[in-house]
Amino acid sequence: MISSLPTWLSQAPEPPAPGFKAPSGEDFNIPPMFEGVPVLEYVDKPVIQLIFSVVLILAFFTIATRSAQLLPGRTQWLAEKFHVLVRDSIARDNIGPEFRKYVPYLVALFAFLLVNNLFGIIPLIQFPTFSHPGMAYALAILTWLIYNIVGIRKQGFGGYIRLMTWPPGVPGWVRIILTPIEFLSNILLRPVTLAFRLFGNMFAGHLVLLLFVFGAEYMLLIADSVLLNVLSVGSFAMALIFTGFEAFIQLVQAYIFTILTASYIGASLADEH
């Protein structure tokens, strides 16, 4: 006769008590909005946000310039100040005498980055587009193509490679060491670092914001503890404070990406490296 199993083996394990699940990279995996539909199956929330941002920016500048006045109204004034900021503080200071032809692109780039970054704190959207790495790398590759094409057209292919990889005023034996480093830094790795800086800041900032919001929700609505219910107020307060801080970071990252783009263009047009 086979003896019965011990009690500790025969009983099914109890399910783990529900607890707080910290936000992670999985929260950034957004499924397609039109799954199974040809072509549209690749359209997800970040793609929709990119399109929406373009519509918003076009609408804003169209309204601002449609009936421009000598004494500008609020919308025209805001558009002019935005244009002047990019023209004088970014393009002129970093590109040099040929800066004017690049101002339209830099204005559009700054506006595009700013709107998509601020989507991370706008209710009902609450997702910074460039926290998706593919979006950040696509924009960085566009910058990479622009400054390399501009440099090759100005310097010629050989002259441009020499400009980017041969530091002037250093001994020949030092150039042997520095040339591969300069090539990697100036030609190959710039789009990687440019994209990673933007993506990393948007991803990390949104992750911390989710931590405070989900933590407050758990402590108030799920946790069976009066102490945690009370502490949820502090978590909500931190979420509000960090929302303001995140808005500042989103603005700064849009500015940094734009100013680096301008500096790369300026370096590719320079007579000496």
Tell me the per-residue pLDDT of 60-112, one tens digit each, with 9 for 90 and over: 999 988 877 777 788 889 999 999 999 999 999 999 888 999 999 999 999 99
- pLDDT of 47 above 90: no
In terms of pLDDT, which residue wins out, 145 or 206? 145
Label residues 199-218 b or e (16+ Cβ within 10 Å = b). bebbbebbbbbbbbbbbbbb
Q: What confidence tier does 272 reach under pLDDT thresholds 50, 70, 90?
A: low
pTM above 0.85, yes or no: no
Residue with tokens 């339209």: 104
**What is the pLDDT, as a whole number, of residue 160?**
85
Mean pLDDT of the chain, nearest integer: 83
Lowest mean pLDDT among 35-49, 104-118, 188-202: 35-49
Specify whether the CB–CB gap between 167 and 186 falls below 8 A. Answer: no
pLDDT, tens digit, 9 for 90 and up, residues 124-172: 888 899 988 888 999 999 999 999 999 999 989 888 888 888 777 777 7
CA-to-CA distance for 40 and 32, rounded, in angstroms? 8
- Cα–Cα distance list, 99 to 20, 154, 163, 202, 262 (Å): 52, 14, 19, 29, 9
Cα 68 → chain centroid: 32
Q: Are 209 and 246 in contact (CB under 8 A)?
A: yes
Q: CA-CA-CA-CA torsion for 104, 108, 114, 115, nearest 10 degrees?
A: 150
Nearest-angstrom CA–CA distance, 31 and 16: 28
